[in-house]
Structure formats: C-alpha cells, structure tokens
Structure 1
C-alpha cells in the first residue's frame, strides 16, 4: 500500500477527482467532507498527509487544523483554498500548515507538492542511527527527525525541521528566501518564497528563548536568514 492521504473537502466532485488521480499515482486515499470528520480521520487512521480545504461546514479548515495540531505537530498538512488573499494563506502557515495550494490546481502539481512535503517528513535512511547535529543548546537527530533545546524535545512541523537543519548545518552562511525555499521545498515553490518568513517565525517561537531577540536564527535584512549560535 502507498502512503495514506486524507482528502478533506466538502465538494464530492473534488474529492472524487483527487482520489482517483492520487490512487493512480500509487497513494492510498481516505476521504472526509468537513473539518470535524477530518479530525476523526486523524484520530482513527495512521494518516501520512492530509489535504485540508479551508472553506467547509462543521469546522472550517483552519479550525480543523488547530485541532489536528493538538493531536500531532508532525503530521504534514497541505491547505486547499479557493481564496487568493495572501493573509488567508499566511494564517494557515502560522497555524502549522506545511504548504497551501490555491484552487483551481492541476493534479500533477498537487501530486508533486504531496511528494515534496512527504520527503520533508520522512527520515533519511542513509543517515547513521543517532547521528546528532549540535549547535549550542540545540541538538538535532538527523536519523529520527527530532530536535531538542536544553534536552527538551521540540514539536516541529516537517517544514520547520527542514529549515532548522538547513540553517544549522552551515552556521554563518546567509540564505536568501529563495535559496532557503528551494533547499527546503524545491524549485516548484520558488514563487512562494515570502511564505518562508512565516515558517521561520513559527520556528523561532519554538527554538528561541526570546524570539524577538534570537540567539540562533537571525534575519539578514533585505536578504534572508542565517544561523549563528552564541556559545
């Protein structure tokens, strides 16, 4: 069986179309028609990724996302939205979504996005077990996709984890938003580089003692970000 994808949308026609395409691509698909049913799916099934529509009855997508994040910080979530306003997209990212895709979308692009997000959430089998990357008070296990600060486990989304690893592996190197987005999410996402700011902001809240005055993840104004641990 392929990775289990939950498709959550109140429009049956969309669910049927997405389900048919993804199954042809080798995925296994379960469906839900509203936010409440989406939360139940996550509780009952070992879902690998959830496609979550924003505009739905009985818990909209953002409300459902909030509940899902209480159940699992690490589950990959892609928001489906017909809205074009940037604020709606950023709100989903701030609440812990890994990506968003705006309707109407191509099935090929959707499948590519799913595979990219799944890769970010799957440990690299080539990495030696218990290989740790240590930067100041931060410890990152590259084989289990876990990160700790002062020995306390961080609840990072797959995107947040990948950003942290990318920056921490090369302290002092300045990454532009475009470079960071490309390294973390791939070339298909290069038109979405401003959304990296939201992911970095979320990451700082979990990593830094004082996110407004970070010790590790620094903004290089007009360019992007760099990692600089203070020992």
Structure 2
C-alpha cells in the first residue's frame, strides 16, 4: 500500500513542487495550506507522515504540532522551516517533531529524510526481537502493542522517544554514546545531528521522571552519553 504524506505549507508553489516529486517517488499525498487545515487532515485522513511548515497563517506549524501530538502521537512529523537559528530547530524537536529540514532544501534530501523517518517509525518493534514485555520498576514496555506505561498510565511518546527508551531499557546500566543512540533511534543518516539526541532525551525525561533534574531512569554519563539507571 502506498504511503501517504501530508504536505502542509502556505506556499502553493512549494506544495506543488513537493507533491509532484513525492508522487514520482511512489508516495501518495494530501495537502493543507495552514495549521488549521493540517489538524483537520489528521482528524479525517490516514496519514503516514506529516511535512509541516513552521511559518503559516491562522495557526503556525508549532501550534498545529502541539494539537496533532495530543491525538496522533505515533505519526512522524518533519518540520519545514526557513529559520536557521538552532533554538527554533530545538523547539520543534522539544514539541515532538521527529526531524526538521531547513528551506531551501533539496528534494532528494527531503525524500531521503522521509524514508529514513518512516523506516525508523515502522521498525520500532524490531529492536527487541526476543522480548515482548520489559518491566523496569514503574515503567512497562509492551513491544507487541508498541506501548510504554508509567504506573499503568500510557506514555505519550514520539517514535524517536519510544525507540530511545527501548534501546536504553533493554540493557540497564550499559552506557550508550550519543552517536550510538542516534544510530539506534534515528539511523546512520543522522550522525551529523547527534547533539539533537539531547533534546529527545530531555523530552523523554519530562515524561517518565518525577524530577527530570534528578532522573531515576535515564542518567547522563558526562562526556559520553546516557544509561538506563534502573537495574531491576
């Protein structure tokens, strides 16, 4: 079945250009001109990935992302932005985006990013082939249902956050470098973005830790990376 990409951008020339290229690459597409239409598309259409522009009228991409994440936590989102400041990119990641690409961008690079994020999202269950259930104190991860719970409450994790959690929880105490986590959670295509793993880990801590500043589960190993602290 063809995968459906939602193209959300207020510039019709960009939507037309991206739509034509992606359809030639074998994807199906739906379109929206602003954040309001993006939320409507997600409520009414089956979408496999969202390309979401940041600067749009009525409702910008970050506002739309916040609403989309509340209802559709597993759908991957790639932010499209003309902003080059690092803080704007990190803000999108903090709000649940899986990746970002800065305008102007290469269409081939965009297609490669889309395939990488879709591959990462669809393969989340593959990293624990032999395990169906992980119990880590108050955290339970059910691989077969792609769910993580904290004290029996379902955690609203993005695909990247989920894969980071599973990677770390599989081997408590083992130290993973940022590059190792990036390869596991996002793939080798993202080796040059390894510092963004800190943002994903920070988001994850906010969701699973009672006190993110003094984490119980995900510990920083300074100068190296992270480890899962619970060894039960």
**TM superposition score normalised by structure 1:** 0.93
Q: Check the 8 A contact 2:127/2:167 in 1, yes or no.
A: no
- Structure 1: how far apart are the matches of 2:56 and 2:129? 44
1:19 CA drift (Å): 0.9
- Structure 2: how far apart are the matches of 1:177 and 1:62? 26
Question: 4+ runs of 1 displaced by more than 6 Å?
Answer: 125-130
Residues 177 and 126 from structure 1, CA distance in 2 versus in 1: closer, same or farther, beyond 3 angstroms? closer
1:81 CA drift (Å): 0.7
For 2:195, what is the secondary structure of its paired residue?
A: helix
Equivalent residue number for residue 11 of structure 2: 11
Q: Check the 8 A contact 2:128/2:170 in 1, yes or no.
A: no
Equivalent residue number for residue 59 of structure 1: 59
Q: RMSD across aligned C-alpha pairs, in angstroms?
A: 1.9
Matched, 1:100 2:100: yes
- Structure 2: how far apart are the matches of 1:129 and 1:189? 27
- Structure 1: how far apart are the matches of 2:149 and 2:2? 31
Equivalent residue number for residue 215 of structure 1: 216
**Aligned ranges for residues 140-219 of structure 1 at < 5 Å?**
140-219=141-220
Residues 163 and 33 from structure 1, CA distance in 2 versus in 1: closer, same or farther, beyond 3 angstroms? same
Deviations 1:30-67 (A, max 9, x none): 00111111111111111111000011111111111112
Q: Check the 8 A contact 1:176/1:223 in 2, yes or no.
A: yes
**TM superposition score normalised by structure 2:** 0.93
Task: Please identify, of 2-11 and 174-183, the stretch whose mean Cα deviation from structure 2 is larger.
Answer: 174-183
Equivalent residue number for residue 114 of structure 2: 114
1:126 CA drift (Å): 9.9
- Structure 2: how far apart are the matches of 1:201 and 1:127? 23
Structure 2 unaligned regions, length at least 5: none
Equivalent residue number for residue 72 of structure 1: 72
Structure 1 unaligned regions, length at least 5: none
For 1:226, what is the secondary structure of its paired residue?
A: strand
- Structure 1: how far apart are the matches of 2:221 and 2:129? 33
For 1:179, what is the secondary structure of its paired residue?
A: helix
For 1:118, what is the secondary structure of its paired residue?
A: helix
For 2:101, what is the secondary structure of its paired residue?
A: strand
- Structure 2: how far apart are the matches of 1:127 and 1:87? 34
Equivalent residue number for residue 48 of structure 1: 48
Count, aligned residues: 231
1:117 CA drift (Å): 1.6
For 1:121, what is the secondary structure of its paired residue?
A: helix
